[in-house]
A = this chain, B = another copy of it.
């Protein structure tokens, strides 16, 4: 963001270019892996030069950061909306969560794969993982609480706890373990899809929701 001076913020054209770069980066990361996703390659993918990219982002880390945040936010927004609309039943909310996640994956194949790729492929030069680095970003006082809240929705634990508390879910459920398991199951979709183009994430989402429902619901 070169144009921070003017309160109007980045121009329309600047935002468009950044979008294009982010999209190109995601594509390249998915195609060749983060390890091989050099700035030159990304530049070529969007018909530009590495210089052009570094004009819009101060360095590569900033580009990756912007990409991750962007995908996270879009994903979180979609999931938030879906969960909110699902009403108060824990059952319905869990289903909405899972289905929305996989609908997002289905609708944004590249982005979802890029995110998975980065989640484990990215390491800061000091060896820090994406999670840690992201926590840093979020702790940045520049970030709004709104942004922080937005991303929190991806945490399943509270949702599960409420379900257990109000009796929708069986009391023997370990919210923490189940949250980890389901998150893993959700993320597995992108990897699976990457090596099996015939994979259908939305169908998988429905199956996963059924699966989770059977596993969680309290039996009379």
Residue A203 is within 8 A (CB to CB) of chain B in the complex: yes
Q: Please state the number of chain copies in the assembly.
A: 4
Contact among B120, B173, B180, B189 for A185, CB-based, below 8 A = B180
Residue A137 is within 8 A (CB to CB) of chain B in the complex: no
When the two chains form their complex, are residues B192 and A33 in contact, meaning their CB atoms are under 8 A apart? no
User: Chain A binding site: helix, strand, loop or mixed by DSSP?
Assistant: helix
Residue A178 is within 8 A (CB to CB) of chain B in the complex: yes
Chain A 56-93 residues near chain B, CB threshold 8 A: none
Distance to closest chain B CB from A211 (angstroms): 5
When the two chains form their complex, are residues A170 and B121 in contact, meaning their CB atoms are under 8 A apart? no
When the two chains form their complex, are residues B184 and A186 in contact, meaning their CB atoms are under 8 A apart? yes
Instruction: A126 to B187: give the CA distance in the assembly, Å.
Output: 24
User: Which B residues are CB-close (under 8 A) to A214?
Assistant: 170, 214-216
Residue A147 is within 8 A (CB to CB) of chain B in the complex: no
Contact among B35, B116, B207 for A177, CB-based, below 8 A = B207
When the two chains form their complex, are residues B127 and A33 in contact, meaning their CB atoms are under 8 A apart? yes
User: Which B residues are CB-close (under 8 A) to A33?
Assistant: 121-123, 127, 129
Contact among B120, B131, B178 for A121, CB-based, below 8 A = B120
User: Which B residues are CB-close (under 8 A) to A31?
Assistant: 127
User: Which B residues are CB-close (under 8 A) to A127?
Assistant: 31-33, 36
Residue A195 is within 8 A (CB to CB) of chain B in the complex: yes
User: Which B residues are CB-close (under 8 A) to A119?
Assistant: 120, 191
Residue A212 is within 8 A (CB to CB) of chain B in the complex: yes
User: Which B residues are CB-close (under 8 A) to A121?
Assistant: 33-35, 120-121, 123
Instruction: A120 to B174: give the CA distance in the assembly, Å.
Output: 28
Instruction: A163 to B204: give the CA distance in the assembly, Å.
Output: 20
What 7 new A-B contacts, CB under 8 Å, besides A36-B127, A177-B203?
A: A33-B123, A177-B207, A180-B204, A181-B185, A184-B185, A184-B191, A219-B219
A residues adjacent to B (C-beta < 8 A)? 31-36, 116-117, 119-123, 125-127, 129, 131-132, 170, 172-174, 177-178, 180-189, 191-192, 194-195, 203-204, 207-208, 210-212, 214-216, 219
